[in-house]
C-alpha cells in the first residue's frame, strides 16, 4: 500500500496539471481586426502601434489589460481624440476586434505670445506683466501630413526677439517602420539678452540693434527597437554671435571674450517608455539615459561632455488615487563652460517646484521628486463643432500633493563677475513642497495651479505650470 504522503503528492501534481490545462483552455484566437474611422491616417501607422495580429492567442484573464495597453499606444501617437475597442466573441475560441478612431484636427495655426523671462511666473510676479517683455508671432503646424504621422512646423516671431525656424518630423521610415527622423533649421536675433546672474536672478542687456544672433541646424535619427524602446542619435551645429558691449558686461558669455561661439554636438539617448498616457501618466514607468559631446576640435569655442539619466514610476493605488516617484541626475564636464551654454534650473526642462522665480546655474544636479494625486472630478463637455454629431471632451481635475528635494553644484558662476552679486543657490541643497490642482483636458493638455513652499524663502508662492515635465526632453 502506498504511503498517504505519496498519494497526497500525486493528487496535488494531477490537480496542478488539470488546473493548468483548464487555465490554458481559457484563451481565444484573434480571428479578425477591423480599423474604422481612419479618414486620413494610413492603416500602416496604426499597425505599427499594435502588438496584436490575426492568429494571435490571447489569455482571457489578461485580455482587458492587453487591449488597454494597445489603446494607450494608439492614443499616445497624438493622432486621435479617442480610441474605442470593441470585442466580439465568435464561438468559444475566436475573437473579433474592432478599433474605432476619432481623428484630431491636424492643421493648427497658433498665435505666439511668449515672454523673454525664464518662465511665465517671473514675468507675472516680478516684471508686473510688462508687455514690453513679451514677444509675438505665429506658428503653423501640419500634423499627420500625408497620413503618415509626419509633422511640419513653421515658427515666425517678430519684435525684439526675431525668429524663423522650420521643423520636420517623421516617426516611421522604411518597410519595417523602425527608423524615424527629426530635423530643424532656425535663425534667431535678440535685442534683450540675459547675460549673467545676480542673486540667482537673470540680468538683461537691452539695445536698439540685435545684441545676439544665432543660427542652428539639427538632425535626430531614432531607431524604435520595439513598441516601448527607442534609441536616438542627435547631431547639431550651432553658431552664435554677441555684441562687443554685451561681452564687456560678461566676458564669460563666450570663452575668453570671443564675439562668436561655434560648435558641433553629437549625442546618444536611450529611452524606454511604458507610461499609460505620456502627457499625464498615472501608471507605468519611464527611463532615459543620454550622453552628449559638444565640440570636436573643429572649433575651439566649446568642449564639454554631459551625462543625464531620468527614471519615473507611476503607481495607481485604486481607481482615483495615484502616486509617482522621480529621480533625475545630470553632470557636465569641461575645463571651461560659457554662460550661454551652461545648464540652468528654472528654464527649459529643468523646473524645480518652489524655485520658479530663481535661475540656478549648475553643472551637476540630483533631483528626487514625489507626488500623490486624488481625482476629484471627471466629466465630459459636449460640443457639435466641425461635424454634426455631438462630440464630448473628457475633463479631469486632480488634487496633487508634491515634494521635491535636490542637490546642485556649480564651479563657474557662483561668485559671478566683479560687478555681480553672489549666487547662493548654485551650490547646496534645494527643497520644495506644496499643493496643486491639475486640470487635464482629453488626457493631452494639462494646466497646474500650484501653491509651493521653498527652503530658501521659507514662504509659499502661487505658481502656474503647463505640464509636470519630469520626463520631458528636447529631441532636436
Show the 3-state SS of 333-387: ECCCCCCCCCEEECCCCCCCCCCCCCCEEECEEEEEEEEEEEEEEEEEEEECCCC
Looking at residue 1, its pLDDT comes to 47
Distance from the first to the final alpha carbon of the chain: 77
357, burial (CB in 10 Å: exposed 0-12, middle 13-18, buried 19+): buried
Contact by Cβ (8 Å): 69, 430: no
361, burial (CB in 10 Å: exposed 0-12, middle 13-18, buried 19+): buried
Q: Which of 96, 21, 342, 312 is nearest to 196 (CA)?
A: 342
Q: Which of 365, 326, 346 is nearest to 470 (CA)?
A: 326
Q: Is the dihedral of CA 319, 320, 321, 323 positive or negative?
A: positive
Element (H, E) at 167: strand 161-173
CA 75 to CA 67: how far, in whole Å? Answer: 12
Length of the chain measured in residues = 476
Site of grid cell 505620456:
278
Looking at residue 429, its pLDDT comes to 96
Q: What is the pTM of this model?
A: 0.89
Each residue's pLDDT, cut to its tens digit, for the chain (476 residues) gives 445 554 454 445 545 444 444 444 589 999 999 999 999 999 999 999 999 999 999 998 899 999 999 999 999 999 998 899 999 999 888 999 999 999 999 999 999 999 999 899 999 999 999 999 999 999 999 999 999 999 999 999 998 999 999 999 999 998 888 999 999 999 999 999 999 999 999 999 999 999 999 999 999 999 999 999 999 999 999 999 999 999 999 988 998 778 899 999 999 999 999 999 998 999 999 999 999 999 998 887 899 999 999 999 999 999 999 999 999 999 999 998 999 999 999 887 888 999 999 999 999 999 999 999 999 998 888 765 545 444 677 899 999 999 999 999 999 988 755 445 689 999 999 999 999 999 998 777 889 999 999 999 888 889 999 887 899 998 98
Amino acid at each position: 500500500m502506498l504511503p498517504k504522503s505519496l498519494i497526497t503528492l500525486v493528487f496535488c501534481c494531477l490537480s496542478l496539471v488539470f488546473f493548468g490545462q483548464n487555465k490554458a483552455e481559457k484563451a481565444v484566437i484573434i480571428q479578425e481586426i477591423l480599423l474604422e474611422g481612419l479618414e486620413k491616417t494610413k492603416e500602416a501607422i496604426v499597425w505599427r502601434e499594435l502588438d496584436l495580429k490575426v492568429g494571435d492567442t490571447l489569455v482571457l484573464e489578461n485580455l482587458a489589460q492587453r487591449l488597454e495597453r494597445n489603446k494607450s499606444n494608439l492614443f499616445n501617437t497624438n493622432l486621435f481624440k479617442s480610441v474605442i475597442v470593441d470585442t466580439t466573441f465568435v464561438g468559444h475560441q475566436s475573437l473579433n476586434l474592432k478599433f474605432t478612431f476619432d481623428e484630431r484636427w491636424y492643421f493648427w495655426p497658433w498665435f505666439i505670445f511668449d515672454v523673454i523671462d525664464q518662465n511665465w511666473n517671473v514675468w507675472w510676479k516680478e516684471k508686473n506683466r510688462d508687455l514690453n517683455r513679451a514677444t509675438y508671432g505665429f506658428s503653423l503646424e501640419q500634423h499627420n501630413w500625408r497620413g503618415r504621422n509626419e509633422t511640419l512646423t513653421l515658427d515666425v516671431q517678430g519684435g525684439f526677439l526675431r525668429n524663423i525656424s522650420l521643423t520636420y518630423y517623421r516617426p516611421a521610415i522604411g518597410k519595417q517602420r523602425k527608423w524615424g527622423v527629426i530635423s530643424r533649421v532656425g535663425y534667431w536675433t535678440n535685442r534683450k539678452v540675459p547675460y549673467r546672474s545676480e542673486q540667482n536672478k537673470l540680468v538683461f542687456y537691452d539695445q536698439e540693434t540685435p545684441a545676439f544672433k544665432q543660427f542652428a541646424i539639427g538632425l535626430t535619427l531614432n531607431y524604435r527597437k520595439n513598441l516601448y524602446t527607442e534609441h536616438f542619435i542627435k547631431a547639431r551645429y550651432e553658431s552664435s554671435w554677441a555684441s562687443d558691449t554685451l561681452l564687456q558686461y560678461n566676458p564669460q558669455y563666450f570663452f575668453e571674450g570671443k564675439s562668436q561661439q561655434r560648435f558641433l554636438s553629437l549625442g546618444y539617448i536611450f529611452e524606454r517608455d511604458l507610461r499609460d498616457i505620456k502627457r499625464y501618466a498615472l501608471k507605468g514607468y519611464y527611463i532615459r539615459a543620454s550622453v552628449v559631446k559638444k565640440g570636436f576640435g573643429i572649433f575651439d569655442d566649446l568642449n564639454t561632455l554631459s551625462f543625464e539619466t531620468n527614471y519615473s514610476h507611476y503607481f495607481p493605488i485604486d481607481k482615483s488615487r495615484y502616486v509617482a516617484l522621480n529621480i533625475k541626475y545630470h553632470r557636465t564636464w569641461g575645463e571651461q563652460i560659457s554662460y550661454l551654454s551652461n545648464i540652468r534650473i528654472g528654464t527649459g526642462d529643468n523646473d524645480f517646484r518652489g524655485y520658479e522665480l530663481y535661475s540656478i546655474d549648475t553643472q551637476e544636479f540630483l533631483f528626487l521628486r514625489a507626488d500623490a494625486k486624488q481625482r476629484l472630478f471627471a466629466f465630459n463637455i459636449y460640443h457639435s463643432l466641425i461635424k454634426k454629431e455631438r462630440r464630448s471632451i473628457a475633463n479631469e481635475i486632480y488634487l496633487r500633493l508634491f515634494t521635491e528635494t535636490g542637490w546642485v553644484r556649480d564651479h563657474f558662476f557662483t561668485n559671478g563677475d566683479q560687478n555681480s552679486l553672489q549666487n547662493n543657490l548654485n551650490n547646496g541643497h534645494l527643497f520644495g513642497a506644496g499643493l496643486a490642482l491639475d486640470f487635464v483636458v482629453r488626457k493631452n493638455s494639462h494646466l497646474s495651479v500650484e501653491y509651493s513652499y521653498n527652503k530658501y524663502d521659507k514662504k509659499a508662492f502661487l505658481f502656474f505650470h503647463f505640464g509636470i515635465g519630469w520626463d520631458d526632453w528636447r529631441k532636436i
